Amino acid sequence: MIATNFLHDIADYVDHRVAKVVINGSYEITQFEVKSVTDQTLALNYVVPLAEVSQITLIELKDAENQVLTANSVDVPITADHLMVHTLSIKEVS
């Protein structure tokens, strides 16, 4: 068993590592509506503007050195400015 406070510490570490979201390999988002840790979950809320993106096919979280931390292939059509609610849950897996 991993202690709950240690899982929170890992979520907090990830929070400090994430510097930006990159959509489709080129559109960078560095301003977050929400970027916070609650318990073992990192919440990232950010706006994807229709003027810049019409379809989301790839979401990457990157650090300050532009290294990919996570990458997810998706298929999200954008018909208006879109608030993305992105969560990362830190869990013990056995």
Reported pTM:
0.92
Instruction: Find out whether 60 and 28 touch, Cβ atoms under 8 Å.
Output: no
Taking only the tens place, the pLDDT of each residue in 2-48 is: 999 999 999 999 999 999 999 999 999 999 999 999 999 999 999 99
Taking only the tens place, the pLDDT of each residue in 67-83 is: 999 999 999 999 999 99
Lookup: tokens for 79: 């018909």
For residue 35, count other CB atoms closer than 10 A to its CB.
14
